[in-house]
Amino acid sequence: MRIRRADAQALLEGARAGYPFEVCGVLLGRGTAVTAVVPVANREGASPRVRFEVAPEDLLRIQREARDAGLEIVGYYHSHPDHPARPSARDGETAARGLSDGVLHVIVAVDAAGRTDATAWVYREGEAGFEAEPFEVE
């Protein structure tokens, strides 16, 4: 995955600003090149510290805007407050229920001191699950 430095910084800053809650959003671009990061409100009402939810209407709006800009949704991101930047069991369950085959997933770990770490993953249906994807900042 390739991402511009400003967009990578936006991911980290968003995770810090949203702490101790999970933040989430959509990655736009082409293939594995991310050219825009779109923050989305976390609509998870019961447990926003450990879960996130993107509302269907938000996703539809972003799909339309991406199409109008000549881009496509290449993936999603969310933060893991006080947890590692790797997919959780719940992330795997969610990806398996959705249309995630071949889609980028960026996870940003963040802690109370504001330390962050970002990793990229691609979900593969079936036994493979999440596979690590190089995270290249340009």
Residue 97, pLDDT score: 84
Three-class SS state of 76:
strand
User: Is residue 22 flagged as an active site residue?
Assistant: yes
What domain range includes position 121? 2-137
Residue 118, pLDDT score: 97
The residue from 22, 44, 65, 93 that is catalytic is 22
Chain segment 53-98, per-residue pLDDT in tens: 999 999 999 999 999 999 999 999 999 999 999 999 999 888 888 7
Domains: count for the chain: 1
> What's the CATH number where 113 sits?
3.40.140.10
